[in-house]
Amino acid sequence: MPNWKQVVRERLPSSRLKVSDRKSVVGELAGHLEETYESARSRGLTESEALDTALQEVADWRVLAVAIQRAKEEGSMNHRTKRLWLPALTTLLAASVSLTLLQYIGIRPYVVWLGNVAITLYWAWLATLPGFGALGAYLSQRAQAPAKARLAAGLAPALVMLIVMCLILPWGLAIDGFDFLRVVSFGLALTTWVAIPGAALLLGALPFLRKSEPALESTSH
């Protein structure tokens, strides 16, 4: 009987597949060709005829390699979307809608003045964030994401705000020049809109950061 893995390795272009994917692809194709070969032999075909029948299953190995790699890349992207991007977007959207609604119904923030600098704290909004952090981390956990992805999904609003603010500061300094008060204000804004909300989101996400235990299937006797 042919060594089907060797047959596939010789025909499958190595440059078309990632090294991490090649081993599993070779195994799957080898198993399929072996089944086709055995089926042909059971119908009375000679070894040579059965081998030809099996190899005819693949019309163009180069085209097959490209198709496999494309399918794996699309699958990986869809996997990442379910594990991270959709849960993170859900958390971000929920937090944004919550803040908008609270502002719309007239709930005012608590303002603390430090000299000429004001710190704005939306206590009512902060109180909703643990729930949203839990929601994002839970959705990511349900998609079997690793702990880092669950954490990112739960902290999405704070992470997005951190990115936005880190883009704003250099831009402002480049336009208006360095100003100590502006830097202090930026630090306080980071505390108000990133650190404190991030802590609230983390509080909700923490229960979903532990390693997931595989579900035990009950067996009936």
Under the banding of pLDDT at 50, 70 and 90, the label for residue 96 is very high
More confident residue, 35 or 123: 123
Out of 26-35, 120-129, 161-170, the most confident range is 120-129
Q: What is the mean pLDDT of the chain?
A: 78
Please give the residue that has the higher pLDDT: either 70 or 187. Answer: 187
Closest-CA residue to 69 (of 21, 28, 27, 12): 21
- pTM of structure: 0.60
Of 20, 18, 52, 17, the C-alpha closest to 33 is 52
Q: Which residue has the tokens 């032999």?
A: 41
Instruction: Answer whether 141's CB lies under 8 Å from 205's CB.
Output: no
Residue 218 pLDDT > 50: no
Model confidence pLDDT, tens digit, residues 49-79? 777 777 776 665 666 666 666 666 555 556 6
Burial of 170 (0-12, 13-18, 19+ CB in 10 A): exposed
DSSP bridge partners of 111: 120
Inter-residue contact 136 to 154 (CB < 8 Å): yes
- Model confidence at 46, in pLDDT bands (50, 70, 90)? confident
Residue 137 clears pLDDT 90, i.e. is over it = yes
- Kindly list the domain boundaries of the chain, sorted by start residue: 4-58, 81-208
Is the per-residue pLDDT at 82 higher than 70?
Answer: yes
